[in-house]
Chains A and B, each alone.
Chain A
Amino acid sequence: MNRYPWWKYSILAVALVIGLLFTLPNFFGEAPAVQVSSAKATVKVDGSTAERVSQVLGAAGVKADFVQFDGTSVRARFADTDTQIKAKDALGKALNPDAADARYIVALNLLSRSPAWLTKLRALPMYLGLDLRGGVHFLMQVDMRAALKQAVDTYASDARNALREKRLRFSGITREPAGLTVGFPDAASAEAGRGVLADRLPSVQWSTESAGEGSSVRLVGRLAQQAINDIQAQALKQNIETLHKRVNELGVAEPVIQQQGADRVVVQLPGVQDTARAKDIIGRTATLQIRLVEPDTAAAPEVVPSRERDGSARQVGLKREVVATGDQLKNASATIDQDQRPAVSVRLDDVGGRAMRAVTRENLGKLMAIVLYEKGKGEAISVATIQGEFGSDFQITGSFTPQETADLALLTRAGSLAAPMEIIEERTIGPSLGAENIAKGFNSVTYGFAAIALFMCVYYLLFGVFSTLALAFNLLLLVAALSMLQATLTLPGIAAIALTLGMAIDANVLINERVREELRGGAPPQQAIHTGYERAWGTILDSNITTLIAGLALLAFGSGPVRGFAVVHCLGILTSMFSAVMFSRGLVNFWYGRQKRLKGVSIGQVWRPDGSGVGGAGGTGGTGGGAGSARPQVES
């Protein structure tokens, strides 16, 4: 009765092989590598780049283990750090002939040392979380109200321009949180205006209202919910893109930039320890606006301080219309203007250029301000007189130091944010702490496992050995599954592995106790094994389901480190049911199943209340009969 059909053994064998294959890459460690990725949207990295990298390395006489293209970047692995540095220098010179205008990012990195055939099988090592590797983690909240406000501002100036182009008379445009109101002197012009506006701003729904004074009519525009959603989704998307570009400027090897929830972005930069610098580039929440100056500060709808050359601050009134915004900036670079002052040379896109031309034509000799909004506060970084009509190319001069122009150029070049962001969570972990955490987690699992194994082997003898093997198999499957899913291993994740193993042994204890109990009841050994496993199965299923419920709740509601814990925990429960029941049964069947006249099983001493202890048969068990009576008896 304790025989497995061949297919069950083959399932076990396949699971074992797959488990070994996918666990293997985790043991090879990491080797120095160089990663080449694109520094500009216009530069594409593809298979031909990989060939180019190989050529450059060959020409420089640097030998790489391999050069591969992985979808977004080209990576080359090297035997040691010296070769890696040499390769980086060679690649840097060859790919970026003009150092000031880098087309590629050449960064030092680490790659798994696992052989290429494993990588081809997509057997990759687990990704180490920041707490094990060191690095920076930011969670940023995108200010959606500001995104909406900015969109409404743009709509308002578009509407104004459209009405002026058609020479329609209107009495003013008022902004609202999610729409605008345009006043018209009479119904006829309102009707004409409605046609123009509906044509120019299709995402706004217009309705006509009587203003209540004479013949004046109000046209009320509402943003459709869909349009609002689009604006917000677009803002988030653009912010993520911008963050990507900024991170690229930092030259980080494997950044993670992801959306989280409706309005949040996670940024993880492994290896970077200097939060101050990372934050300076990434966390710069600046948005840029170009607006006309209202000379009468009292009448101005918004007043911001302006930075003067001598360091003093002056208040500058701004007109309501936004001529151009930061997201219309196509390029920016630091230069020196004709007066030898540091300046930022800016190029706008077509829309921005057209708006700029229209405004500068009409406002010659007037003042124009470039306003930088950071953390909800505006600052006019430059106020200058419009000297002539200009379009998409112009220079910003202000009280800049050369360093500031370089920073500003970098930020604008990397793209401006569609909506301001705020850092709401930040974590930095030093690399030595990461290594320490790995060691601690590893030690916890090793010693805990050893203690359990020792106890099981002593207490249940051969069945304990089977249980220990099943537990080891469970660990193997768990690590293989995590590697297959390319899950991120964190310290709570390692804790979950330890805990899952500690809990998984429960199933084997249940089985072993049941088998002992059957033996105690006088069942023949083969029968006892059979019934023991069968009876224990129901209980194991029940108890694992309750644990799984807790695990799933954690998975659903946990965030960050708790999620890592929950993933491992849930996976571990599933693998443990397979290994503890099927794998250990396989071992038992393999060992005992073929023996027709089995006299006893090595499961440790089976003590009977009547004092006749049945030792583990085969000479391995203790002789417990005598010892039994020495124990204090429990009276009822």
Chain B
Amino acid sequence: MEFFRIRKDIPFMRHALVLNVISFITFALAVFFLATRGLHLSIEFTGGTLMEVEYAQAADIGRTRAAVETLNLGEVQVQNFGTSRDVLIRLPVRGAGAAAGKGGSDLAAEAFAALCKAEQGQVGSRQYTTPQGEQVSRSSCTKGDGSEPLKLQRTEFVGPSVGAELARDGALALAVTVLGIMIYLAFRFEWKFSVAGIVANLHDVVIILGFFAFFQWEFSLAVLAAILAVLGYSVNESVVIFDRVRETFRRMRKLNTPQVIDHAITSTISRTVITHGSTQMMVLSMLIFGGPTLHYFAVALTIGILFGIYSSIFVAAGIAMWLGVKREDLVKAGGGREHDPGDPNAGAVV
């Protein structure tokens, strides 16, 4: 089987201008949405309390919300999580006025009590031994007849100071990654490629963020990790193309720069699509089977992978061309070694 049967180099660079304009518009839109809508940051960054509750029957979101709102906490978010029985509740950091004597970490217990009351249950603690013999105790909500109308699956509390720190560390991680990759590319290739590669891939990052801002998807630490992973990954793509550009410069002396880039992209496109397709299969599997916890992680990866292909092919190479990459930049002087004696393709023009 062979998906890519390409007779001649595809003239990608002829359309570079149009594509760069499209990129720029997408980029500008992403920045616009980031600026106007902002990111819907998870409580890891903002601080607050998160609860996941599982109801015995399909949850009545309205009633749940009403029960939580009796606590007067300000803005409360209640939403389904995965199934109709699972509900995710986000509570803000308690305001200074109400904070008297109570740490934010007690909120979840209070909210659970309120929810339990709304279901006519009684809050208690349950001790039991799992089938493996592990001793476990948890807070429970039981009705008079012994049934449990709802279960507390998970709570998370993050203090506001921790959130600020995480946000700072995240930004730092992004900066270090960008810098590290730039230095590596500059060292391995040339500054023009370094700039082109990083611009292309930052453009991906901004676009992913733009998607998260536009759809108001939750931006969590896992999403940040996904973005950084995808940043490293799509720089790969640029590296593979740049590698080919250098090789083509060495081998085919008759071609001009756009032709060299076209040739490099054409000869790597099969690998590009297959690799990204494979990675995407894995990510898709996470999206389908990974459940709600991994959902946005997989979404961020999906967008990152798709735009990674696009930006490496059209943006990175295009920028390198605009920056004026020349044969002399890549092929060191004294070029007697361009013709690899063991290379049957040496000198060949496809």
Interfacial residues, chain A to chain B (CB-CB below 8 A): 30-33, 78, 81, 84-85, 107-110, 131, 134, 139, 141, 251, 253, 271-277, 279, 283, 375, 377, 422-433, 436-437, 440-441, 443-445, 447-449, 451-452, 455-456, 458-459, 491-492, 495-496, 498-499, 501-503, 505-506, 509-510, 513, 516-518, 521-523, 527, 531, 538-539, 542-554, 556-562, 565-566, 569, 604-607, 609, 613, 622, 624, 628, 631, 633-636
- Pick the contact of A546 from B174, B232, B294, B350 — CB < 8 Å? B232
Q: Which residues of B contact A422 (CB under 8 A)?
A: 103, 159
In the complex, the answer to whether A543 meets B282 with C-beta atoms within 8 Å is no
Q: Which residues of B contact A81 (CB under 8 A)?
A: 129, 131-133
Q: Which residues of A contact B4 (CB under 8 A)?
A: 607
Q: Which residues of B contact A607 (CB under 8 A)?
A: 2, 4-5
Give B279-325 interface residues, CB cut-off 8 Å to A.
279-286, 288-291, 293-294, 297, 301
In the complex, the answer to whether B271 meets A513 with C-beta atoms within 8 Å is yes
Say how far A592's CB is from chain B's closest CB, in angstroms: 19
In the complex, the answer to whether B176 meets A543 with C-beta atoms within 8 Å is no
- Pick the contact of B177 from A274, A444, A550 — CB < 8 Å? A550
Q: Which residues of B contact A548 (CB under 8 A)?
A: 232
Q: Which residues of A contact B328 (CB under 8 A)?
A: none
Say how far A2's CB is from chain B's closest CB, in angstroms: 14
Instruction: Produce 1/0 per residue, B196-229, CB < 8 A to A.
Output: 0000000000000000000000000110110011
In the complex, the answer to whether B289 meets A447 with C-beta atoms within 8 Å is yes
Q: Which residues of B contact A622 (CB under 8 A)?
A: 1
Chain A's closest residue to B297 (CB) is: A495
Cβ of B184 within 8 Å of any chain A Cβ, yes or no, is yes
In the complex, the answer to whether A425 meets B236 with C-beta atoms within 8 Å is no
Instruction: Produce 1/0 per residue, B163-192, CB < 8 A to A.
Output: 000100110111011001100110010000
Q: Which residues of B contact A436 (CB under 8 A)?
A: 291
Q: Which residues of A contact B222 (CB under 8 A)?
A: 492, 495, 561-562, 565
Q: Which residues of A contact B224 (CB under 8 A)?
A: 562
**10 nearest interchain CB pairs?**
A273-B138, A550-B232, A502-B282, A32-B133, A448-B285, A424-B159, A543-B236, A448-B282, A557-B173, A547-B232
Cβ of B156 within 8 Å of any chain A Cβ, yes or no, is yes
Q: Which residues of A contact B267 (CB under 8 A)?
A: 517
B side interface size, CB within 8 A = 96
Chain A's closest residue to B49 (CB) is: A426
Residue with the highest number of chain A CB atoms closer than 10 Å, among B101, B152, B162, B228 = B228
In the complex, the answer to whether A426 meets B139 with C-beta atoms within 8 Å is no
In the complex, the answer to whether A559 meets B166 with C-beta atoms within 8 Å is yes
In the complex, the answer to whether B221 meets A561 with C-beta atoms within 8 Å is yes
In the complex, the answer to whether B274 meets A375 with C-beta atoms within 8 Å is no
In the complex, the answer to whether A542 meets B188 with C-beta atoms within 8 Å is yes
Given A426-B105, A561-B221, A634-B6, A506 and B236 contact (CB-CB distance below 8 Å): yes
In the complex, the answer to whether B283 meets A502 with C-beta atoms within 8 Å is yes
Cβ of B98 within 8 Å of any chain A Cβ, yes or no, is no
Instruction: Produce 1/0 per residue, B6-21, CB < 8 A to A.
Output: 1111110000000000
Q: Which residues of B contact A423 (CB under 8 A)?
A: 103, 105, 157, 159
Q: Which residues of B contact A273 (CB under 8 A)?
A: 136-139
Distance, CA A429 to CA B152, complexed state (A): 9
Q: Which residues of A contact B293 (CB under 8 A)?
A: 131, 437, 440, 491
Cβ of B120 within 8 Å of any chain A Cβ, yes or no, is no
Distance, CA A273 to CA B134, complexed state (A): 12
Chain B's closest residue to A136 (CB) is: B155
In the complex, the answer to whether A451 meets B285 with C-beta atoms within 8 Å is yes
Q: Is the interface of B mostly helix, strand, loop or mixed?
A: helix
Given A495-B297, A622-B1, A521 and B181 contact (CB-CB distance below 8 Å): no
In the complex, the answer to whether A557 meets B236 with C-beta atoms within 8 Å is no
Distance, CA A273 to CA B139, complexed state (A): 7
- Pick the contact of B172 from A107, A542, A557, A605 — CB < 8 Å? A557
Say how far B174's CB is from chain A's closest CB, in angstroms: 8
Cβ of B252 within 8 Å of any chain A Cβ, yes or no, is no
Cβ of B84 within 8 Å of any chain A Cβ, yes or no, is no
Chain A's closest residue to B220 (CB) is: A561
In the complex, the answer to whether A549 meets B184 with C-beta atoms within 8 Å is yes
**A-B contact list, 29 entries, CB within 8 Å:** A108-B133, A139-B162, A275-B108, A276-B109, A424-B158, A426-B105, A429-B153, A430-B154, A440-B293, A444-B282, A448-B283, A495-B222, A495-B294, A496-B229, A502-B278, A505-B278, A506-B278, A542-B240, A546-B235, A550-B180, A551-B232, A553-B180, A562-B225, A566-B225, A604-B2, A607-B2, A607-B4, A622-B1, A634-B8
In the complex, the answer to whether B239 meets A539 with C-beta atoms within 8 Å is yes
Q: Which residues of B contact A272 (CB under 8 A)?
A: 136-137
In the complex, the answer to whether A510 meets B233 with C-beta atoms within 8 Å is no
In the complex, the answer to whether A543 meets B240 with C-beta atoms within 8 Å is yes
- Pick the contact of A503 from B10, B125, B279, B288 — CB < 8 Å? B279
In the complex, the answer to whether A455 meets B228 with C-beta atoms within 8 Å is no
Distance, CA A85 to CA B129, complexed state (A): 10
Q: Which residues of A contact B169 (CB under 8 A)?
A: 557-559
Which candidate, B28-36, B66-74, B141-149, B341-349, is the interface stretch facing chain A? B341-349
In the complex, the answer to whether A443 meets B274 with C-beta atoms within 8 Å is no
Q: Which residues of A contact B136 (CB under 8 A)?
A: 134, 271-273, 431
- Name 7 extra pairs, CB < 8 A, besides A279-B105, A543-B237: A32-B132, A108-B129, A449-B282, A451-B284, A502-B281, A521-B348, A539-B239
In the complex, the answer to whether A509 meets B1 with C-beta atoms within 8 Å is no
Cβ of B57 within 8 Å of any chain A Cβ, yes or no, is no
Q: Which residues of B contact A375 (CB under 8 A)?
A: 101, 103
Say how far A495's CB is from chain B's closest CB, in angstroms: 6
Chain B's closest residue to A545 (CB) is: B184
Chain B's closest residue to A523 (CB) is: B344
Distance, CA A455 to CA B101, complexed state (A): 60
In the complex, the answer to whether A455 meets B278 with C-beta atoms within 8 Å is yes
Distance, CA A604 to CA B4, complexed state (A): 13
- Pick the contact of A506 from B101, B108, B279, B286 — CB < 8 Å? B279
